[in-house]
Amino acid sequence: MKHLILPMRMAVIGIFAWAALSTNALAKDVVIGFTGPLSGPGAGYGRDVLNGIKMAADDINKGGGITVKGKKYTVKVEGLDDRIDPTIAVNNARRLSSRSKARVIFNPVFNTIAPLMQINQQKTSQFLLMAYSSTPKIEQIPNDLTVSIPPPFTAYVNAFCDMAWKKGWRKGAMMVTLGAYGDEWREAFKHHWEEIGGEILADKPANYYTETDFSAQLSAVIATHPEFLLIGGPSEPTGLVIEQAHNLGFNGGFVLVDQAKMDYIADVVFKGDLSKMGNVIGVAPIVGLPSPVIPEWNKRYEKEYGVHDTFEALLNYSATMIVVHAMEKAGTIDNPQAIKAAFAKVLPQDPTKVPTPFIGTLGPKLLITTTAGEIIDGKYTKVNQYVWWTKDEAAYMELLKSIPASDNVVTSWLPLKGYLQ
Amino acid sequence: MFTKPIHIKLFFLAVLIAALLLPLFISDAYMFQVVIMSILFAIATCAMNLIIGFTGQASLAHGAFFGIGAYGVAILTKAGVSFWLALPAAAVMAVLIGLPVGLISLRTRGHYFAIVTLCFGVIMWIVAGNWIELTGGENGIFGIAPPGDILVPLIGRIDFSSQAAQYYLALAFLLLTLWALYRIVYSVFGLTFMAVRNNEALADAVGINTFTTKLISFEAANFIAALAGGLYAIVIGAVSPSAAGYGLTFNFLIYLILGGIATLSGSVIGAFAIPILMESLQFLQDYQLLIFGALLVVVIIYFPMGFVGGLRRLNQIIADRRRRKKSEAVHVSG
Amino acid sequence: MELFLQQVFNGIMFGSTYAIVALGLTLVMGILNIPNFAHGHLYMLGGYVTYFFFATLGLGFWLSLLASMIILGMVGVVMERVVFRPLTGQPPINDFIAAIGSLVFLEAFALAVWGPQGLRITNPYPETFQFLGITMTVQRVLVIVAAAALIVGLHFFMKKTVLGATIEAVAQNREGAMLTGINVNRVSAITFAISTATAALAASFLSPIFMLSPSMGAILGMKAFIIVILGGLGSIPGAILGGYILGLIEALGGGYVSAAYKNVFAFGALILILSIKPTGLFGKKEA
């Protein structure tokens, strides 16, 4: 059994060599961490999020970096792949916080956000978790160092129901992606749609991540003769569903869950041919957003990263801006509590500076309007912008002053239960 | 074979002392985390070694039984049951679920057994993702509290949310597992496992009930895998379908084969070496998996018996050469 | 009734792809005894290569298909030579690990070259028509026809040509074949090439209908395995029948019962059949 000595010895040497190699924290850098899917299913989504963060850091650095207590810092983004595996995500977060001294870490998937919320308040390795997930489940876990970035998806549910109802649609059928997000979405949509008096004729979820042929489920839902289909998951397969539904003879409309983006589908899947989409309700196309910096931002983004712009990139860009500006206001780069507390001082964001300005905070949530758009007969219509958190008309009117507006945008008040203030 | 020379015993003692003192030397939460996870994976890999390495049955449902342990502990502790009760209960649950699985799948052999167990594994993974009422669906179960503080005489209060406490907890289970496996493998009973692996027909002919032997080994492996899964649940604090997925099975398999199949130390070495290797390849970013995939192929070609197997062969070669030299020397002098 | 027919049509189309993919796998697994778990990923690579010729270089659909088959055939030869031949004589579990290494490599390769976004090629035959009250696209019918043609073609190849007979001889008795002077290594390489080229063919026909993504091969590869085992290791009729059975089970189970548990039907069916017949539908008595 002599042969056992060598492996043990080598393992010990290996561990130390590895420990020595991987320590690298440079002075004068402030590190923003990211862990998320960069390969495997969800990789496109993860990259969009990371691109947004990187672009914000680039813009800050181009402007000379940030100044905290008189000292200049360059913002450095460190992104690690976790393939939505909780073990890797926790390792990554530990690595980012212990080795790179990141005190702010972004993560875009609930399955990995939940385990990170278990460790981000430990005294020895605290970090501010910037969670990009629209599930209300995040708010169920008490955690003082978590910020949830996107609007709750239920705000979209209400907005889309409102628009579909006004179009005269009454009977719908659902074929949404499987998985936590899809399950919550279709449950919430069905509940709300039936509450306002509509009807759901069929509900056949499909896996938008692993499956690619949706004809089995599609023929089943189309057979119930709905006026519209609620569909969606990642944008590309959602485009396929639209095409396959048309091929199967369906000529009603579509409502897209907020993960699927109509402009992305039109540009990437249908090569810009809007007429192939039919009538669609969903998250507003980016070009329709009210901020004046959108066109320039869009162009720069697509040039820099070679992919279509998405809301994921936009919102994480804005959120990163909040973080670094809050560091300046708080006068610290390594106290996550102080950084979070300073958020209030940098909000609302200026719509002439950031493309999707956040307006305020509410508990762990950052506040931003939900924007919904429509395609009718091959053309984008005006964008609807909804304020969902004010408790009454008066507060809404007061808020209107700080909300970006344009001729192309209709703003209205759509209160969302559970979030009113 | 059954007793070890004194210097080997001393070596193991040294490793044990080093392991016990490790938290004093690790100040870095990241490294600590990787080590803790490696210990958990080592426990599961050791269990896999029992059924695959020693009994020769390629069970690919291993990740699912790990998952049953994880979900079992998550569900029970959420329902208010103490972790110390929930852990054994979850492991027993894995054995109960393993019984019909084993009864059906062990009727098949070789590739067929591997695929049938893989199917069971995939089914349990799908169920974990869809039985929303029980498992929370794809979101899984989150906010699992670590075991409550316990008061130990002399040491004082142990707070299991600290990494050091989690480390010792995991280490205790790894040592327990290694001790149990050592007792099994080097017993007469363990020899029947290997007899089944080496030649099932012959084992049958000499009166070994091969089916029962395989079933016992399968169930023992499931029991231990579930214990590892239960520990995972409280260390990570959230359980989702990936904790019961076939990806885990493949990981364990890689640790097992590259570490050295059918050797007790190989499983542990594999479970430490590969995750650490993966972590140190992180700097390659997009090319990390490209390199890892290629590395896997190269290693399996050149070290088919894994790390420990490779060292054994090296030892063998050196010993042979020495012997040859000695005999040559004898020739010359004679 | 319409709905039922539609599901059956979908099931047959799915089954056709499964049958071709499983056919390639059963050749490699039954004849060379290599559990090539990376088969689904070779299918994925075939799809991307077709995309490269069709969308990037602008070749026509049929030319791209041919090019993809040739390139994947070569990839098969290289893979056999570099990855699996050095493992001859080692336990099958080592082949399995090597296959996992290969699939990790292939997926990372596709991700590095083509990125994570789904890609697809424009459908060359998007026309739809009605038949027996169900809607079909020409491309989908083409998948079914092409699969049938390939199956018939492969049958004649195995039964009527010398090369085919040689492959069968190796499958039946490797040592015996070697003694009669057959170059077993050459046969292995050719078998691998046929296996990967058929995977590329399946991927080419499906790439106008489905999105290409680096991880698309994982589930398909696993299903191919299940079909091969279901049909009985190395049995060509078993793989074909198994493919169609799986396609139908999925389409009907997914359409009528529950899409979430669609794969459970497929995997459950295998367990059921193997618990009755432990060596598969057409398997030899003892594996």
- Nearest CA distance, C233 vs chain B (angstrom): 9
Instruction: Give contacts of A 62-81 with B, CB under 8 A.
Output: 80-81
Report the alpha-carbon angle B237-B241-B243, nearest 5. 55
Domain that holds residue C73: 2-276
Cross-chain Cβ contact C226/B119 below 8 Å: yes
pLDDT in tens, A118-172: 999 888 789 999 999 888 888 888 899 999 999 989 999 999 999 999 999 999 9
Cross-chain Cβ contact A94/B33 below 8 Å: yes
Mean pLDDT for B273-289 is: 85
Counting Cβ atoms within 10 Å, is residue A141 exposed (0-12), middle (13-18) or buried (19+)? middle
| CB distance A385 to A369 below 8 Å | yes
pLDDT at A179 over 90: no
The residues that bridge with A326 in the sheet, in sequence order, are: none
Q: What pLDDT band is residue A24 in, cutting at 50, 70 and 90?
A: very low
Nearest CA in chain A to C137: A247
Does C285 reside within a domain?
Answer: no
pLDDT in tens, A241-264: 998 898 888 989 999 999 899 999
Residues of B in contact with C275 (CB under 8 A): 104, 107
**Alpha carbons B116 and C235: distance in angstroms, whole number:** 18
Look-up: residue for tokens 């009113």?
Answer: A420
Main-chain dihedrals φ then ψ at residue A386, nearest 5 degrees: -120, 135
Mean pLDDT for B136-154 is: 82
| CB distance A230 to A153 below 8 Å | no
Beta-carbon pairs below 8 A across chains A and B: 132
pLDDT at A109 over 70: yes
pLDDT in tens, C64-119: 999 999 999 999 999 999 999 898 888 888 888 899 999 999 999 998 899 887 78
Does C114 reside within a domain?
Answer: yes
- Nearest CA distance, A205 vs chain B (angstrom): 11
B308 vs A: CB within 8 A:
yes
What percent of chain A has pLDDT above 70?
92
Identify the pLDDT of residue A22: 46
Q: What pLDDT band is residue A26 in, cutting at 50, 70 and 90?
A: very low
- Encode chain B in three state secondary structure: CCCCCHHHHHHHHHHHHHHHHHHHHCCCHHHHHHHHHHHHHHHHHHHHHHHHHHCCCCCCCHHHHHHHHHHHHHHHHHCCCCHHHHHHHHHHHHHHHHHHHHHHHCCCCHHHHHHHHHHHHHHHHHHHHHCHHHHCHHHCEECCCCCCCEEECCCEEECCCCHHHHHHHHHHHHHHHHHHHHHHHCCHHHHHHHHHHHCHHHHHHCCCCHHHHHHHHHHHHHHHHHHHHHHHHHHHCEECHHHHCHHHHHHHHHHHHHHCCCCHHHHHHHHHHHHHHHHHCHHHHHHHHHHHHHHHHHHHHHCCCHHHHHHHHHHHHHHHHHHHHHHHHHHHHC
Identify the pLDDT of residue C259: 65
Q: What residue ranges do the domains of chain A occupy?
A: 26-152+295-367, 155-290+371-413
CA atoms within 13 A on the CB side of C53: 22
Report the alpha-carbon angle A102-A90-A25, nearest 5. 25
Low-confidence ranges of chain C (pLDDT < 50): 286-287
Q: Which of A215, A224, A242, A276 to mutate to test the interface with C (most CBs of C within 10 A)?
A: A215
Residues for chain C: how many in total? 287
Evaluate the CA torsion angle B3, B7, B12, B16 in order and state its sign. Answer: positive
Q: What pLDDT band is residue A9 in, cutting at 50, 70 and 90?
A: low
Identify the pLDDT of residue B160: 83
Cross-chain Cβ contact A220/C3 below 8 Å: yes
SS3 A38: coil
Cross-chain Cβ contact A213/C209 below 8 Å: yes
Instruction: Give contacts of B 264-293 with A, CB under 8 A.
Output: 265, 269, 272-273, 276, 279-280, 282, 285-286, 288-289
Cross-chain Cβ contact A39/C214 below 8 Å: yes
CATH number at residue C22: 1.10.3470
Which of A11, A91, A117 lies nearest to residue B33, judging by beta carbons? Answer: A91
Residues of B in contact with A117 (CB under 8 A): 142-143
- At position C244, the amino acid (one-letter code) is Y
Residue predicted with more confidence, A210 or B47: B47
Rg (CA), chain B: 21
Cross-chain Cβ contact B304/C87 below 8 Å: yes
Q: Which of B236, B248, B305 to mutate to test the interface with A (most CBs of A within 10 A)?
A: B236
Closest CA to B159 of B167, B170, B171, B147: B147
pLDDT in tens, B220-270: 999 999 999 999 999 999 999 989 988 899 999 999 988 988 888 889 999
**Alpha carbons A119 and A126: distance in angstroms, whole number:** 8
Look-up: residue for tokens 């894995």?
Answer: B94
Q: Which of A35, A84, A90 to mutate to test the interface with B (most CBs of B within 10 A)?
A: A90
Cross-chain Cβ contact A249/C211 below 8 Å: no
A181 vs B: CB within 8 A:
yes
**Alpha carbons C67 and A224: distance in angstroms, whole number:** 43
Residues for chain B: how many in total? 334
Residue predicted with more confidence, A395 or B106: B106
- Nearest CA distance, C36 vs chain B (angstrom): 12
- At position B293, the amino acid (one-letter code) is G
A201 vs C: CB within 8 A:
no
pLDDT at B1 over 60: no
Nearest CA in chain B to A43: B286
**Alpha carbons A1 and B9: distance in angstroms, whole number:** 10
**Alpha carbons C112 and A35: distance in angstroms, whole number:** 19
**Alpha carbons A404 and A420: distance in angstroms, whole number:** 21
Identify the pLDDT of residue B333: 52
Which of A205, A215, A223 lies nearest to residue C260, judging by beta carbons? Answer: A205
Chains that touch B (3 or more CB pairs under 8 A): A, C
Of the candidate ranges A10-19, B13-22, B192-201, the one whose mean pLDDT is the lowest: A10-19
**Alpha carbons A274 and A377: distance in angstroms, whole number:** 8
B107 vs A: CB within 8 A:
no
Angstrom distances, CA of residue B186 to CA of A117, B4, B131, B194, B270: 44, 12, 42, 10, 21
| CB distance A239 to A270 below 8 Å | yes
pLDDT at A337 over 50: yes
Residues of C in contact with B257 (CB under 8 A): 93-94, 97
| CB distance C198 to C23 below 8 Å | yes
- E strand spans, A249-306: 253-256, 280-283
Identify the pLDDT of residue B98: 95
Q: What pLDDT band is residue A23 in, cutting at 50, 70 and 90?
A: very low
Identify the pLDDT of residue C90: 83
Q: Which of B139, B288, B318 to mutate to test the interface with A (most CBs of A within 10 A)?
A: B139
Cross-chain Cβ contact B253/C225 below 8 Å: no
For the domain spanning B28-302, the CATH number is 1.10.3470
Mean pLDDT for A184-206 is: 91
Q: Which of C9, C137, C215 to mutate to test the interface with A (most CBs of A within 10 A)?
A: C215
Cross-chain Cβ contact C225/B115 below 8 Å: yes
- Would you give the DSSP letter of residue A178? P
Does C286 reside within a domain?
Answer: no
Main-chain dihedrals φ then ψ at residue C13, nearest 5 degrees: -65, -45
Give the burial string for B98-119 (b: 16+ CB within 10 Å, else e): beebbebbbebbbbbbbbbbbb
Does C281 reside within a domain?
Answer: no
What percent of chain C has pLDDT above 90?
31
Closest CA to B56 of B278, B261, B317: B261
Residues of A in contact with B314 (CB under 8 A): 3
Residue predicted with more confidence, A323 or C8: A323
Averaged pLDDT of chain A = 87
**Alpha carbons C273 and C280: distance in angstroms, whole number:** 7
Residues of A in contact with C128 (CB under 8 A): 247, 249
pLDDT in tens, B285-308: 778 888 989 988 998 888 888 888
Domain count, chain C: 1
Closest CA to B181 of B85, B44, B306: B44
SS3 A34: strand
Does C266 reside within a domain?
Answer: yes
For the domain spanning A155-290+371-413, the CATH number is 3.40.50.2300
CATH fold for the domain made of A26-152+295-367? Rossmann fold (3.40.50)
Cross-chain Cβ contact B29/A21 below 8 Å: no
A216 vs C: CB within 8 A:
yes
Identify the pLDDT of residue A347: 83
Identify the pLDDT of residue A20: 47
User: Tokens for B189?
Assistant: 């009973």
- Encode chain C in three state secondary structure: CHHHHHHHHHHHHHHHHHHHHHHHHHHHHHHCCCCCCCHHHHHHHHHHHHHHHHHHCCCCHHHHHHHHHHHHHHHHHHHHHHHHHHHCCCCHHHHHHHHHHHHHHHHHHHHHHHCCCCECCCCCCCCEEEECCEEEEHHHHHHHHHHHHHHHHHHHHHHHCHHHHHHHHHHHCHHHHHHCCCCHHHHHHHHHHHHHHHHHHHHHHHCCCCCECCCCHHHHHHHHHHHHHHHCCCCHHHHHHHHHHHHHHHHHHHHHHCCCCHHHHHHHHHHHHHHHCCCCCCCCCCC
- Nearest CA distance, C140 vs chain A (angstrom): 11
Q: What residue ranges do the domains of chain B occupy?
A: 28-302, 307-334
Cross-chain Cβ contact B253/C97 below 8 Å: yes
**Alpha carbons A329 and A335: distance in angstroms, whole number:** 12
Does C287 reside within a domain?
Answer: no
Cross-chain Cβ contact A91/B138 below 8 Å: no
- Would you give the DSSP letter of residue A333? S
Q: Which of A183, A211, A270, A307 to mutate to test the interface with C (most CBs of C within 10 A)?
A: A211
Q: What pLDDT band is residue B94 in, cutting at 50, 70 and 90?
A: very high
Cross-chain Cβ contact A95/B282 below 8 Å: yes
